[in-house]
Amino acid sequence: MTESVVQYRFPEGFWWGSSASATQTEGAADRDGKSQNIWDYWYEREPSRFFNGVGPGDTSRFYDKYKEDIRLMKEIGHNSFRLSISWSRLIPDGTGEINQKAAAFYQNVIDEMLAHHIEPFVNLFHFDMPLALQRSGGWVSRNTVDAFEHYAKTCFSLFGGKVKKWFTHNEPIVPIEGGYLYDFHYPNHVNFQEAVQAGFHTLLSNARAVKAYRELKQDGQIGIILNLTPSYPRSSHPEDLKAARIADAFFNRSFLDPAVKGEFPSELVEILKAEGFLPRYEKDDLRLIQEHTIDLLGVNYYQPRRVKAKEHVPNPHAPFLPERFFDPYVMPGRKMNPHRGWEIYEKGIYDILTNLREHYGNIECFISENGMGVEGEERFRDEDGIIQDDYRIEFIKEHLKWVHRAIGEGSNVKGYHLWTFMDNWSWTNAYKNRYGFVSVNLENGGGRTVKKSGRWFKSVSDQNGF
Ligand code: BG6
């Protein structure tokens, strides 16, 4: 790749790479001893809930093609990559016996990455609850916290000699929203009390895993990955400001404050108390959470959340949802990703980093997901078979400029991972929105082709900037 003038140079050792998750990429959903997780099961029961009726069975075949994929990662300049472990592959019953074939698979993946000088960032839970545990209540049940601690310890002892960056959860609020509030994950309940309980247990499981990791003294870092979606008020009217503050407490600070500061945001606690929704917990839980905060924070950022004060008195008989306190605000003139229907607001990434610097002790962090989903991306494929995704290059550049500025002002941000390495299966959206540096041909055995953005990323990584 020819050298060009570098206008935005990043600090030495910046982490360039991408992120992905097990269920979305591995395929082999029922092979080599893997048991069902909630996605396998939900798809079996209700295939019509998934875009074009495509389920998690095959996904992008990383299980079979990981060597080729890791080679491609190297080819497009990755020095790091985040994957997740499939809990239902490694411990098919959720708790108990290890599946040795799964242990060997993850060991091989880690070794292959290290052989290519790509640092593995390993996440333990990315939306994929083993069905056996969901049957006994999933995150609503305290037993799942015990099972998660056991699973985490198993992973640390199997792979912790080589893996030095661990994450307990990816976007832990999403399974709560999807499974217990807004009906886009199994078990499709709409039950605020369960949502709060599941959220509390998830946070407790994070603290337990952090504690277990520290006790092992494995000389690495452990963190959590949060989708931080800045809440912007429609105006500076006090009611709009209050709406934004409450939305922020529900959707950002609910996980950010306990994970980083060890405490729960008082606005949220007050609401839960007033509305009668405080979770059940045991005497030592709060102390455990307080004493076991994370080392490293992953920040996923796609779009902002704009809110305004409620326009109508909420129906007191409707199920209780956070939206009782604010309405979404559609800002006129906003910039859109028309292919996905999400707003693009690049400065949001800077606002998050500044907030972390000013209010969260400038905790060490990195951009763990950011990316642009495009439906019907095949239409951008040229006669040489390359997807000309200039829009994605533009998207990444514009966000990186704000990251660069935040670094200049002292933010402790160590890297940028795109969502995602290759096109993958995205839950109920299946293969609708393509995000990868690499396209995957679903009709043709999953053949891979590097997109223009992948080639461009190589030059960014080589030059440590653009
Ligand atoms: C992220 C999740 O929030 O969004 C990923 O961590 C997901 O798992 C991605 O695939 C994109 O979502 P969608 O709905 O646009 O395909």
Dump pLDDT digits (tens) for 346-385.
999 999 999 999 999 999 999 999 999 999 999 999 999 9
Check: CB of residue 195 under 8 Å from CB of residue 169. Answer: no
- pLDDT at residue 1 tops 80: no
Question: What is the tens place of the pLDDT at every residue in 414-424?
Answer: 999 999 999 99
Q: What is the mean pLDDT of residues 392-421?
A: 98
Looking from the CA of residue 419, the nearest atom of ligand 1 is 9
CB atoms near residue 338 (< 10 Å)? 11
Helix residue ranges, H only, 100-249: 100-115, 131-135, 142-159, 173-180, 192-216, 238-248
Q: For the chain, how big is the Rg over CA atoms in Å?
A: 21
Q: Is 143 exposed, middle or buried (0-12, 13-18, 19+ CB in 10 A)?
A: middle
Nearest to 292 by CA among 264, 260, 269: 260
Q: Compute the distance between CA of residue 277 and CA of residue 75 in angstroms, rounded to an integer.
A: 51
Looking from the CA of residue 433, the nearest atom of ligand 1 is 16
Q: Compute the distance between CA of residue 425 and CA of residue 373 in angstroms, rounded to an integer.
A: 12
H or E segment and range at residue 255? helix 254-256
- Ligand 1 contact via 95 beta carbon (within 6 Å): no
Average pLDDT of the chain to the nearest whole number: 97
Question: What is the tens place of the pLDDT at every residue in 167-199?
Answer: 999 999 999 999 999 999 999 999 999 999 999
Q: Compute the distance between CA of residue 13 and CA of residue 25 in angstroms, rounded to an integer.
A: 27
Q: Compute the distance between CA of residue 429 and CA of residue 51 in angstroms, rounded to an integer.
A: 5
Q: Compute the distance between CA of residue 296 and CA of residue 319 in angstroms, rounded to an integer.
A: 36
- Ligand 1 contact via 429 beta carbon (within 6 Å): yes
Kindly report the CATH class assigned to 15-463: alpha beta
Q: Compute the distance between CA of residue 116 and CA of residue 448 in angstroms, rounded to an integer.
A: 19
Q: Compute the distance between CA of residue 206 and CA of residue 259 in angstroms, rounded to an integer.
A: 8
Q: ω before 420 within 30° of 0 (cis)?
A: yes
CB atoms near residue 346 (< 10 Å)? 17
CA of 455 to the centre of ligand 1 (A): 23
Measured between alpha carbons, how far apart are the two ends of the chain, in Å?
A: 12
- Ligand 1 contact via 143 beta carbon (within 6 Å): no
Nearest Cα residue to atom 10 of ligand 1: 426
Tell me the residue length of the chain: 466
H or E segment and range at residue 457? helix 452-463
Residue-level pLDDT at 350: 98
Catalytic residue among 26, 171, 369, 377: 369
- Ligand 1 contact via 426 beta carbon (within 6 Å): yes
Which of 23, 49, 127, 419 is the pocket-test mutation for ligand 1 (most atoms within 8 Å of CB)?
419
Question: What is the tens place of the pLDDT at every residue in 49-89?
Answer: 999 999 999 999 999 999 999 999 999 999 999 999 999 99
CA of 426 to the centre of ligand 1 (A): 6
Q: Say whether 369 is catalytic.
A: yes
**How, if at all, do strands 231-233 and 305-308 pair?**
parallel
- pLDDT at residue 4 tops 80: no
- Ligand 1 contact via 171 beta carbon (within 6 Å): yes
Give the whole-number percent of the chain exceeding pLDDT 90. 97
Q: What is the mean pLDDT of residues 289-307?
A: 98
CB atoms near residue 270 (< 10 Å)? 11
Question: What is the tens place of the pLDDT at every residue in 103-134?
Answer: 999 999 999 999 999 999 999 999 999 999 99
Q: Is the pTM of the predicted complex or chain greater than 0.95?
A: yes
Q: Compute the distance between CA of residue 32 and CA of residue 27 in angstroms, rounded to an integer.
A: 11
CA atoms within 13 A on the CB side of 463: 17
- Ligand 1 contact via 373 beta carbon (within 6 Å): yes
Q: Identity (one letter) of the amino acid at 135?
A: R
Domain residue limits, the chain: 15-463
Helix residue ranges, H only, 304-437: 347-359, 390-408
Angle at 129 between CA 125 and CA 133, to 5 degrees: 130
- pLDDT at residue 3 tops 70: no
